[in-house]
Amino acid sequence: MKIKFVLGMFLFASFLSFAQIKHGLRDEQGRHIIPRGFVVNTNDHKGEVFFNSDDYARMVRMGANSQVIRLELGKLSSFPGGKLELKYLRKLDSLVALGKNHDIKTVFKMTVYGVDKFIWEEFWQNKKNEYSTYIDAWKVIWNRYADDPAVLGYDVVNEPRKLTMDISYENLTNKYLIPLYQKIIDESQKINVDKMILFQSIFMNKGEKIDNNQYSEITAPINRKNIIFAPHIYQNDIDFIKRNMDRFDKESDMLKAPILIGEWGFPTFATTDTLIDGKLGQLKYRELYIRTAEVFDRMGVGSIKAWFLGNRTMQHFLSGGPSTWSIFSDSTDAGTVERKYITDVISRPFPQTIAGDIDSFLFNHATRTLGLKIKPDNSKGASKIFIGANRHYPDGFSILIDDDIVMYYNPLKNVGLEIYKCSKDVNPSNFIWDPQSQKLIVLKWPNNRINLNIKIVPGLRNFD
C-alpha cells in the first residue's frame, strides 16, 4: 500500500482534538505512526559500508520502522569532483528494498560529502547557479523513487552552515535558507506532491551555542505543505534536554510542521566502553539517553539514531578524545557488538502504528513498563506495538488493557499469548505476538471503547 504521511495535528485536527500528542504522523489509512530507526551510512572513513537482510532483521528487533539513508552529493551531482554513479544508485535501490522487505520505510538525506570542496558561503551566494546543480542531484533521487511507496520523503539539506559569512543566523535563515527550501519543495512536488520534505535549521559555528544547543532557531514560516521539521539534538547536558525540545516545539507550531528528530544521541568516546562510572562513563550515558528518550516519548516525536554502524573509525573533534556515533563497538562495517548502555535505551518499547489516535505513551526504564493511552478506531486496520521482549522482558511480559483484559507471554512455554482474563467484547485471536519482529500485532481493538489504557509490564503476574 502506498503510504502518504500527513501532519498529526495540523491536517487531522478533527481526529486529534482530544489528544496530547501532536507530532505523530499518519499513514494513508489514518493510523497514528511513530517513526523510529537509524541513520544508515553508505560509507565511512575506511570505505564503503554494506548491509544484508540479517542486518535489517536486527534493526527491526531494535524497534526500527524507519531508516534515513545518507546520500553523498559527490555521487549524484556535477559539483567539482562529483559524478553521477549508476553503481551507487543500484546500492541505494538495494537499501530501500531491504527496508521494504522488513517493514521499514526510507527517508533520504543529502550530505555534501564526496565533492572536491563544498563552500557554504559560495553556495548561499549562488553565483555559479549552485542551487540548480544541487536540485539536479535531488531530481535523480526524486524521479527514481517517485512511485515507490517505501520511500516516505527527503531530508533536503543536512546541517546547513554559516561559517565566515558576515550575517546573523536569523538573516541567513530568512534570506537564504527558507527561500532555498521553498524552491526545493516546489521542484520536488512537481515530481510527486505526496512525498514529505524534511528540513533543518542552521548548524551554528563552534562556540556559538544557545542553551548548549548548536542549532539556530527558525523564526519565519516556510508556508508549504507536506513538510516535517527534522532538527538534530546532540545534547550532553541533561539540564538542557527539555528546554531544547521545548524550543523545537515552539518552532514546530510556527512552521505548522510536526517534529521528527533527524539525528540524536551524544557521541560515545573511545574510553566509554571500558569506563563504567565517572564523567564519561556508561552510567552517565545511560542516564543522559534515558532522559532524552523520556522527553521524546512524552512529546510523541519520532526519532532517528545515528549510526547503525560498526566502529571502524573514530572522530577527533571533541575535547574528550576520539569519539563515534556508531552504536556497535566492533570494527566491522555493519557491526554486531552492541553498546548496550545506549542501545537498550534506543530500543525501548513504543507504539509504532496505532489504528486510532495516541493520547500518550511512556516507557519507564526503572520498572520496565510501557504505558499507553489511545483512542481506537478499528476501521483503520491493524496496530503494532514494539515490545522487544528478548531485550526488555526475558522473564516474559503481561499485557493489561483497562481493568478487564489480561494476557501474558511465557518464553519458557513458547506458545504465544495466553489469556488470564478477557471480557466478552474481545476476541483473543485478534492479539498476536510476533517473536521475529518482537511486536504485538492487534488486528482489532475491543469494540465500543472510546479510550483504552494499556500497559506492558515485566514478568508473569501472579494474578491469583
Which amino acid appears at position 166 of this protein?
A: D
Which pLDDT score is estimated for 1?
Answer: 39
Give yes or no for residue 4 having a pLDDT over 60: no
Domain boundary among 288, 312, 347: 347
Same domain, 275 and 322: yes
**% of residues, the chain, pLDDT over 90:** 89
Same domain, 261 and 406: no
Same domain, 306 and 442: no
Please provide residue 221's backbone torsions phi and psi, each rounded to the nearest 5 degrees. -75, 160
Domain boundary among 347, 381, 416: 347
Specify burial of residue 317 (Cβ count, 10 A radius: 0-12, 13-18, 19+). exposed
Mean pLDDT of 278-286: 89
Q: Which three cell numbers stand for residue 62?
A: 531494535
Residue 464 within any structural domain of the chain: no
Same domain, 127 and 179: yes
CATH number at residue 448: 2.60.40
Whole domain around residue 419: which residue ranges? 357-458
Whole-prediction pTM:
0.94
With bands split at pLDDT 50, 70 and 90, how would you rate the model's confidence at 461? low
Same domain, 312 and 382: no
Which pLDDT score is estimated for 9?
Answer: 34
Give tens-digit pLDDT for 408-419: 999 999 899 999
Give tens-digit pLDDT for 77-111: 999 999 999 999 999 999 999 999 999 999 999 99
Same domain, 175 and 234: yes
Give tens-digit pLDDT for 242-253: 999 999 999 999
Give tens-digit pLDDT for 46-67: 999 999 999 999 999 999 999 9
Give yes or no for residue 178 having a pLDDT over 90: yes
Same domain, 334 and 202: yes
Residue 19 within any structural domain of the chain: no
Which among 229, 227, 370 has a CA at the least distance from the CA of 301? 229
Which pLDDT score is estimated for 425?
Answer: 84
Which among 128, 99, 116, 85 has a CA at the least distance from the CA of 39? 99
Cis peptide before 325 (omega within 30 of 0): no
Same domain, 441 and 403: yes
State the total domains in the chain. Answer: 2
Q: Which three cell numbers stand for residue 351?
A: 507504539
Residue 25 within any structural domain of the chain: no
Same domain, 408 and 321: no
Which pLDDT score is estimated for 279?
Answer: 79
Same domain, 79 and 213: yes
CATH number at residue 115: 3.20.20.80
Give tens-digit pLDDT for 122-149: 999 999 999 999 999 999 999 999 999 9
Same domain, 294 and 379: no
Beta pairing class for 66-72 and 36-40: parallel
Of 14-28, 83-97, 169-183, 373-387, the one with minimum mean pLDDT is 14-28
Same domain, 100 and 129: yes
